[in-house]
Chain A
Amino acid sequence: MIFLVREFCNALKQEGLMVPTPSLNFALEAVSHIDPLSPLQFRSALEAALVQRAAERELFEQVFHRFFIEQQPLVYATENQLFKANLKDFTQEIKKEGTAVNHILADYLEGDARALLEELYIEGVEPDQPVPLEEFKEQKKAASKLNSRKREQLRNRVKVLIELAEDFSARSFHLQREKREKLADYLRQRLLEALEMLEKQSQPKGRRNLMPWEKKRTLSTLSFAQLTEREAQRVKEEVEVLAHKLQDSLSRKRRKANQGHMDIKKTLREATPYGGIPFQLHWKKPAKTKGKIVALCDISSSVSYAAQFMVLLLYKLQNRFSKIRTFVFVRQSYEITRFFESYPLEQAMLRALKEYKIGMGQPSNYGLSFQSFRAKWEQILTPDTTLLILGDGQNNFNEPQVEHFEALTKKAARTIWLNPEEEKFWYSASNSIRHYQPFCDELVECATLDQLTEFTRSLVL
């Protein structure tokens, strides 16, 4: 039994599952308590001891099935270094061609199937440039076509590789014949498995198969500009969760602050009836330092998602601020606060766009927008106001009108510019961010959920 369980652990390791020695001992102990002839008990015992993450369950099931039910020999793990070196040679040959498809398949053959699985789970290829909502349906169709094209490419490549693998194994004359056959078998088997997976046209099976940390890994680092409509919806859900977490952190911080400062006067006063013995300690409540937020968001198509997420987050945290006023601009500034107070985020945005007839597809003009904002709303900027600008600074060669921006920043307590574009694109010729930067207290890249989280944390905590 010890040998069997150890071999099974090797098979799991071969598939990339972490099996530390304590887990192996754990599995051996567990197996000794159950009836090993009951397949369900046996599997449950091994799973309980060896699988540490819910995301690893599927892999465990596959390996278990292969190892105990199909009883396939574990070629790779038991083979010697020479076998592995030959396999490496083959994968290096594939990688030489340099395309993404080749890299994915080479990794897969070496035992790292993550990239291939990711391909199988990708819903649609993100458009290179974000598009206005009205064009989205067409883009989506195109994306879906692209996706199936990429899958087709992978399938075709796998078919070619099956033949190449045969050739390669046959050419490996330095190996004994038996070993050559084993290598050929191994490669063919792995590639046929990949083909089978690709032909199954795996689709996401619904939310329950996506664990939160998986969601975070994929979504939190994806640039807002690259989100598909579906991903944007999921980011929105994540933003809501994030808002709850930040609220919790805030209340915890307040609780901790309460513990930090004792209210001596009150404690002594209350202690008088007990002869000055302070039976009940009283803590000072920290003064709530609520500031006002004025958010000015570029909603031209290139940055519209980022604006939506930031506004959503701000409104979810609104009890942290004395007042939030939201403005949007493409070529002119418009106040949209009242829409957010009456409608959910998407509706609010749509109603505002409809009422003011704002065309998100127009090229943005920062100079005009700051000028119009200053003309109408300069007075709302007070010494306790944080002015948040969200935009990529893409001014499309228009006049930046820096004097208006400078005047606004002088009236506000601080000015923070969140740029949803990667820093390397900030200083192109058509971009005016370099003109505005000297007047900002902070200029932060805010292109992903992770960056938005970090910024909001620093803003409210």
Chain B
Amino acid sequence: MKNRVKTPQEVKGILERQSYIASTQIATIVYLAIQMQRPILIEGPAGVGKTELAKALSQALAVELVHLQCYEGLDETKAIYEWEYAKQLLYTQMLKEKINELTAGTQDLNEAVERIVAVENAFFSKNFLVARPLLKAITLGRPNVLLIDEIDKADPEFEAYLLEVLSNYQITIPELGTIEATSIPLVFLTSNNTRDLSDALKRRCLHLYIDFPSNELESEIVRKKYPTLNKEMVAKMVAAISKIREMDLKKLPSIAETLDWAQSLIALQSTRLGKEELETTLGVIAKYQADAKQILEKAEELLAG
């Protein structure tokens, strides 16, 4: 993957072709992650495009995206690998005759066990291993993007499993030994900061904080996504959203909300953005009744100039 992009500007360019408008900071850090083969830990408010960055990059580089969604209680059987118990049993049944042949002529139980032990690896081989996202990403055999989404939602113990993968790109399975990556994946970890992550994990990552975008960048994002919206309307929307973000709301609108708002205005065939339009589409921007009330109270100020 290292040779696919030569400069941060190139990263910016390929992301833009996927309708992801990245700032220089984002492009630089993604470029560094590719060159240094280090994971990126992306933090920032919900809806600013953390997950989208990984998706856009995988599309831009035309590589597979392996997605691991974290949640409380996620363990190694769901994230790394699991032995396929039913298949192992089925094969034991199918190979009953073979096992009988193997143990034929043995004098006692110990001898029979020893013969079986000598071939027990057959049942603990890759044939019976179900690869979950982490194992899949490192054994895929071709470049890929591994997205470990909302890592802060997983238990702190789960981070320990990740350390080996993130620092050495390898996974140790007691029955099989250490499996090293055939092709190093580009790892993205996203976090909404519901808890502080361990220093050990942070030390292994490049850090990217995606904040709410500047007005210019946000206008560019909206225009790229909805080219039919006129320039003045986009500017007015973005300015209003920016002012709303200054307010003390329970949930501040992010880029996702701005895009939804633009979509709603298009759907309603609005040609101007006034108080009436704001009121009709308020549900898209404000997720709480109290927030909606506050926004409505300041509608004129928000939509002015």
Residues of A within 8 A of B (CB): 20, 22-23, 26, 29-30, 33-35, 38, 40-41, 43-45, 47-49, 51-54, 57, 205-208, 211-213, 237, 241, 245, 248-249, 251-252, 255-256, 274-275, 277-281
Contact = CB atoms under 8 A, between A and B. Distances in A.
A245 B24 contact: no
Contact of B248 (A206, A252, A277): A206
Contact of A44 (B24, B86, B90): B24
A208 B192 CA distance: 11
B252 A208 contact: yes
Contact of B28 (A45, A251, A278, A280): A45
A208 B45 contact: yes
B45 A30 contact: no
Main secondary structure of the interface of B (DSSP, over half): mixed
Interface of B: 7-8, 24-25, 28-29, 31-32, 35-36, 38, 40, 43-45, 71-73, 85-86, 89-90, 93, 193-196, 199, 202-203, 206-209, 211-212, 245-250, 252
Nearest to B202: A52
B28 A206 contact: no
Given A35-B7, A44-B29, 5 more contacts: A57-B209, A213-B195, A252-B73, A256-B73, A279-B86
21 contacts: A22-B203, A38-B24, A40-B24, A41-B24, A44-B29, A45-B32, A47-B25, A53-B202, A54-B43, A57-B209, A205-B246, A206-B245, A206-B248, A211-B193, A212-B194, A213-B193, A213-B195, A213-B196, A241-B194, A248-B71, A278-B89
Q: Which of A30, A43, A278 lies at the interface centre, i.e. has the most chain B CB atoms within 10 A of its CB?
A: A30
B155 to A, nearest CB: 8
Contacts of B206: 26, 30, 48-49
B45 to A, nearest CB: 5
A363 to B, nearest CB: 34
A208 B71 CA distance: 23
B245 A48 contact: no
Contacts of A275: 93
Contact of A52 (B29, B40, B207, B248): B207
B32 A54 contact: no
B207 A212 contact: no
B89 A207 contact: no
A20 B250 contact: no
A138 to B, nearest CB: 22
B71 to A, nearest CB: 8
A43 B23 CA distance: 13
Contacts of A53: 196, 202
Nearest to A251: B73
A260 to B, nearest CB: 14
A285 to B, nearest CB: 17
Interface-centre pick from A248, A255, A256 (highest chain B CB count, 10 A): A248
A255 B75 CA distance: 12
A251 B202 CA distance: 29
A211 B203 CA distance: 20
- Smallest CB-CB A-B distances: 7 pairs: A252-B73, A44-B28, A48-B206, A248-B72, A44-B25, A40-B24, A52-B202
A241 B153 CA distance: 12
Nearest to A49: B206
A34 B8 contact: yes
B203 A281 contact: no
A35 B194 CA distance: 35
B86 A51 contact: no
A48 B203 contact: no
Nearest to A205: B246
B36 A33 contact: yes
A274 B96 CA distance: 14
A248 B152 CA distance: 14
B29 to A, nearest CB: 5
Contacts of A34: 8, 28, 31-32
A206 B246 contact: yes
A208 B73 CA distance: 27
A279 B245 contact: no
A42 B38 CA distance: 18
Given A34-B32, A48-B29, A48-B32, A207 B209 contact: no
A38 B247 CA distance: 34
